[in-house]
Chains A and B, each alone.
Chain A
Amino acid sequence: MLGWGVDRLRADMSRLLAILFHQGVLDEQFLQLQQLQDESSPNFVSEVVNIYFHESEKLFTKSQGPTCKTDGYCDCRLDREFSDYKKMGIHLNQFMGSSSSIGANRVRNVCVAFRAASEQNNRAGCLRALELLEHEYCYLKNKLHELFQMEQQRVLAAGARYPLQQQQQQQH
């Protein structure tokens, strides 16, 4: 019963990962992360990804200032938000770097578009890109959290299995 749960979890995880790769949310860099995870650093991927989310939250707050969700076309607010393209560019650059480092492909692509827009002082473009960026980032975050939860469950389930096996062995 438990064994079946583990397998199912594993299958679910694989499927989720496959979907994410297919959608382009993740790319081969994520695979590299997974390869770096081994006995010496068993939680490497989740560690890195959590750091990434932690830092990115900060970035989002920094680069935006008060979020302008309702009316994106209010010039005065736009000025305040994007008054400093340079700073925005810096944060954006960092975000792009960390996103690409963990394999967040779609997020990185939006960053690229965002950067291009900001370089052209295209405020509307920046706004759109920012919106899109938030969307992508949220999506990524949700999916990865899902993935890690499944992983945790799988580990728990696998751990629970072993005592059973040991008992069985002892009985034999």
Chain B
Amino acid sequence: MTVEQGIVDSNIDQFPIGMRVLAVDDDPTCLLLLETLLRRCQYNVTTTGQAITALNMLRENKNNFDVVISDVHMPDMDGFKLLELVGLEMDLPVIMLSANGDPKLVMKGITHGACDYLLKPVRIEELKNIWQHVIRRRKCDNKDRNSSDNRDKPNQGSSEATPDQKLNKKRKDQNEDEDEDRDENENENEDPATQKKARVVWSVELHRKFVAAVNQLGIDKAVPKKILDLMNVEKLTRENVASHLQKYRLYLKRISTVANQQANMVAALGSSDASYLQMNSMSGLGLHNLAGSGQFHNTPFRSLPSSGMLSRLNSPAVLGIRGLPSPGVIRLGHVQSAPHSANGLSHFQTVGHPGNNGNILQGMPMSLELDQIQSNKGVNYVRELPTHLDDTASFPISSGSTDMKIIAGSSNSPFVGVSNKPLMLEGHGQGLQDGQKFGNQSSLAAGALDPGYSSHFPDHGRCNDNWSNAVQSNGVQSNSFTLNDCFKQSTLHPSSIRDSMSAMALQSRNNHCDVSSISTLPIHLQDSKADLQCQVAAVSRDAGQIINNGPLGWDDHRQDDPYHTNGISNSINSAIPNGNGSLIGRSLDNMISQRTRSFSSTGQSNFIDTSLMKHNEVESSAMETLVRSKDGYLMGQQKPQDSYVSNNFGSLEDFVSVMVKQEQDKVKLPEGDLGSCGYSLWTCI
């Protein structure tokens, strides 16, 4: 023990030198690079290519590491899931790493509690700064624990004063305090500062009792001593309760702040993208909450989760949740019973009675006005979403109402969603993996969780793949398959498809995202897609018009043409059968070699327009323009290639540049309707 402390002390002295980093990445190239970079920063590096190994290492002794850096996409476990677990169980700062800088993914990382989100290729300058996350976390934890000492007063409001004092302490002091506090948090009352022991693990049961006690006393009047008495748990000290209470309060605060921020952000963005983001994060949060609620609620609360989770839809609270819940283990096993939202919620006030979703709004509890504000916001947000999706008329009705209910139902328990985690989907997954009752949970997932769940389905498509969550994925898959059948049977006539889709939406209560994704780019309907595309190609070739690749039928129902570039690719599509397949590759090569990115800005629109015309015209004119615009560089590059290059040059270049530009401008796509929603969904994958 003393040796350990000695090591810690020496680390602290030289901090950030010697900071212990655990790096997780399934890609050996990146892992080696990361390791080398970290060593160059003089950190103490441990690496592993598997998330599970990392988790085991951390579980063995969470004090072995100061920070974890993890890739987002890993085969054995989703990075977000790892993030969630580490945050919950070990409360270590986790930094996400990914090649994909999609803002939605970044948002997801944040909502799951990541301290930072780095993009590959990672640079050493960024790594040199990661120690700040460790310090920040220590400060926060210290704040929590130190303030607990002063908590033995009936007036809880004064607890806010103490953190300020602590902030002024030097890092060393804080670390020492942290050690002491850690000791205090032991289950057994040992002399502080003698030994370092594991922290109290706030299990589901424990937290449930805690919350019940707090509610009983009233959040304002909840004193650690009284809470402790109410909880009546052996070996739990007042200090434990006090620190937990502090975190709880912080959590509540964060919920409101985050909700406000989220509202602002959405307002700022203003477009459907924003609402989509909101939806995403909301649903993600919803899922979170499910996990959270699963975690902290016992039998009576079981039903809560579904709604609780969904409720989180409106309060992006999860953003800061990490602070609150002491790392409890997610016991999703508890989250088993039927998806009747109301239960847990009303529980807080009354003894659980499975009220209707509608009732929940009234039965809402909490003296926390935040909740109500949030629920309102949430409702509004969700409402807004459907309006953007002008695709299926029925959609807003079905999903909207569902969402409303759910949101109304769940907005209560802010503290439920503690584990800032991830999609409940994942939480569920874990629960499922743990061998909990599949059936119930799946129904829970498929049924009650529709909005939240489905909307995340595309996001977690990969997640589903990685997980052995057959049930869950089946749940959603079945929906999509039925839709697929529907789609196949129906003609390309938009209204009929739409009707069938809406019918499906109504029947299966498919989540709007699913519907939207289908209406735009049916992820699951690839076969029929192929047919569409072929037909499209044929038509485009003949008609020489731009026809969207994706939602053929939806064209006339769209105002914008978000798939403008699809038209180009379509022209390429049609260009292909004309021959020169290999040429395209080569000419594409040329184009790429000229730094497509910079290219994309040059007369792109010209190319797009011209590509509509016959190929030869296009190509020659395009090439000429290209040649002119690119000094001699272009020519230099072209020379090695044969003259055929010119044929499809223009359209190919358009394609590539547009693709790249599209990639860059993904978030800025103009569509304010379903199109963007679906497209955005796609990009999440």
Q: Please give the residue numbers on chain A whose beta carbons come within 8 Å of chain B beta carbons, in ascending order.
A: 23-24, 29, 32-33, 36, 41, 44, 47-48, 51-52, 54-55, 72-73, 75, 78-79, 83, 85-87, 89-90, 93-94, 96-98, 100-103, 106, 109-110, 112-113, 115-117, 119-125, 128-129, 131-132, 135-136
Q: Which one, B73, B99, B529, B572, contacts A125 given CB within 8 A?
A: B572
Q: Which one, B28, B549, B577, contacts A73 given CB within 8 A?
A: B577
B467 within 8 A of A: no
A133 to chain B, nearest CB (A): 10
Q: How far is the CA of A120 from the CA of B517 in the complex (A)?
A: 11
- Can you list 18 A-B contacts with CB-CB less than 8 angstroms, sorted by A residue number? A24-B594, A32-B123, A32-B124, A48-B32, A78-B530, A83-B526, A93-B73, A94-B27, A97-B98, A103-B121, A106-B592, A109-B592, A113-B592, A117-B569, A121-B521, A121-B549, A125-B569, A131-B588
For the complex of A and B, list the 5 residue pairs with the smallest distance between their C-beta atoms, beginning with the closest. A97-B99, A98-B29, A113-B659, A116-B659, A131-B585
Q: Say yes or no: B533 contacts A90, CB within 8 Å.
A: no
Q: How far is the CA of A23 from the CA of B460 in the complex (A)?
A: 38
Q: Which one, B28, B36, B99, B461, contacts A100 given CB within 8 A?
A: B99
Q: How far is the CA of A81 from the CA of B287 in the complex (A)?
A: 33
Q: Say yes or no: A128 contacts B655, CB within 8 Å.
A: yes
Q: What 1/0 flags go to B91-135 for Cβ under 8 Å of A?
A: 000000011100000000000000000001111100000000000
Q: How far is the CA of A76 from the CA of B33 in the complex (A)?
A: 40
Q: Say yes or no: A120 contacts B569, CB within 8 Å.
A: yes
Q: Which one, A101, A110, A119, A135, contacts B33 given CB within 8 A?
A: A101
Find chain B residues with CB under 8 A from A85 CB: 523, 526, 685
List 4 additional A-B contacts (Cβ < 8 Å) besides A48-B33, A72-B576, A101-B30.
A24-B595, A51-B32, A94-B73, A120-B569
Q: Say yes or no: A120 contacts B566, CB within 8 Å.
A: yes
Q: Given A106-B592, A113-B656, A93–B28 Cβ distance below 8 Å?
A: no
Q: What 1/0 flags go to B671-685 for Cβ under 8 Å of A?
A: 000000001001101
Q: Given A48-B33, A55-B28, A125-B655, A120–B549 Cβ distance below 8 Å?
A: yes
Q: What 1/0 flags go to B575-600 for Cβ under 8 Å of A?
A: 01100011011101100111111000
Find chain A residues with CB under 8 A from B77 CB: none
A38 to chain B, nearest CB (A): 9
Find chain A residues with CB under 8 A from B550 CB: 120-121
Find chain A residues with CB under 8 A from B563 CB: 120
B527 within 8 A of A: yes
Q: Which one, A41, A87, A101, A113, contacts B663 given CB within 8 A?
A: A113
Q: Which one, A54, A124, A129, contacts B573 given CB within 8 A?
A: A124
Q: How far is the CA of A36 from the CA of B655 in the complex (A)?
A: 37
B205 within 8 A of A: no
Which interface residue of B29, B32, B533, B683 has the most chain A CB atoms within 10 A? B29
Q: How far is the CA of A63 from the CA of B663 in the complex (A)?
A: 21
B37 within 8 A of A: yes
Q: How far is the CA of A44 from the CA of B33 in the complex (A)?
A: 9
Q: Which of chain B's residues 1-55 have a Cβ closer than 8 Å to chain A?
A: 26-30, 32-33, 36-37, 40
Q: Given A33-B33, A97-B27, A103-B121, A123–B100 Cβ distance below 8 Å?
A: no
Q: How far is the CA of A134 from the CA of B263 in the complex (A)?
A: 45
Q: Given A85-B685, A113-B656, A122–B592 Cβ distance below 8 Å?
A: no
Q: Which of chain B's residues 630-685 have a Cβ closer than 8 Å to chain A?
A: 637, 652, 655-656, 659-660, 662-663, 679, 682-683, 685
Find chain A residues with CB under 8 A from B685 CB: 85-86, 89, 119
Find chain B residues with CB under 8 A from A33 CB: 33
Q: Given A32-B124, A132-B588, A24–B593 Cβ distance below 8 Å?
A: yes
Closest to A38 in B: B40
Q: Given A36-B40, A119-B683, A119-B685, A98–B27 Cβ distance below 8 Å?
A: yes
Q: How far is the CA of A44 from the CA of B37 in the complex (A)?
A: 11
Q: Given A100-B99, A100-B121, A121–B526 Cβ distance below 8 Å?
A: yes
Q: Say yes or no: B100 contacts A93, CB within 8 Å.
A: yes
Q: Say yes or no: A47 contacts B32, CB within 8 Å.
A: yes
Closest to B33 in A: A101
Q: Say yes or no: B663 contacts A116, CB within 8 Å.
A: yes
Q: Say yes or no: A122 contacts B566, CB within 8 Å.
A: yes
Find chain B residues with CB under 8 A from A29 CB: 121
Q: Say yes or no: B589 contacts A55, CB within 8 Å.
A: no
A79 to chain B, nearest CB (A): 6
Find chain B residues with CB under 8 A from A54 CB: 28
Which interface residue of B582, B586, B593 has the most chain A CB atoms within 10 A? B593
Q: How far is the CA of A94 from the CA of B73 in the complex (A)?
A: 8
Q: Say yes or no: A122 contacts B29, CB within 8 Å.
A: no
Find chain A residues with CB under 8 A from B164 CB: none
B465 within 8 A of A: yes
B486 within 8 A of A: no
Q: Given A83-B526, A93-B73, A98–B30 Cβ distance below 8 Å?
A: yes
Q: How far is the CA of A23 from the CA of B595 in the complex (A)?
A: 8
B221 within 8 A of A: no
Q: Which one, B120, B662, B682, contacts A101 given CB within 8 A?
A: B120
Q: Which one, B29, B33, B572, contacts A124 given CB within 8 A?
A: B572
Find chain B residues with CB under 8 A from A86 CB: 461-462, 465, 523, 685
A112 to chain B, nearest CB (A): 5
B534 within 8 A of A: yes
Closest to A29 in B: B121
Closest to B683 in A: A119
Q: Which one, A36, A41, A87, A101, contacts B465 given CB within 8 A?
A: A87
Q: Say yes or no: B660 contacts A136, CB within 8 Å.
A: no
Q: Say yes or no: A90 contacts B73, CB within 8 Å.
A: yes
Find chain A residues with CB under 8 A from B572 CB: 124-125, 128
A11 to chain B, nearest CB (A): 22
B300 to chain A, nearest CB (A): 39
Q: Say yes or no: A23 contacts B593, CB within 8 Å.
A: yes
Closest to B34 in A: A101
Find chain B residues with CB under 8 A from A117 CB: 569, 659
A83 to chain B, nearest CB (A): 6
Which interface residue of A47, A103, A109 has the most chain B CB atoms within 10 A? A109
Q: How far is the CA of A125 from the CA of B533 in the complex (A)?
A: 12
Closest to B575 in A: A124
Closest to B124 in A: A32
B454 to chain A, nearest CB (A): 16
Which interface residue of A41, A44, A116 has the most chain B CB atoms within 10 A? A116
Closest to B458 in A: A86
B665 to chain A, nearest CB (A): 10
Q: How far is the CA of A132 from the CA of B685 in the complex (A)?
A: 23
Closest to A53 in B: B29
Find chain B residues with CB under 8 A from A102 CB: 29, 33, 121
Q: Say yes or no: A93 contacts B99, CB within 8 Å.
A: yes
Q: Which of chain B's residues 138-196 have a Cβ closer than 8 Å to chain A?
A: none
Find chain A residues with CB under 8 A from B569 CB: 117, 120, 122, 124-125
Q: How far is the CA of A19 from the CA of B537 in the complex (A)?
A: 39
Q: Say yes or no: B549 contacts A122, CB within 8 Å.
A: yes
Q: How far is the CA of A98 from the CA of B37 in the complex (A)?
A: 15
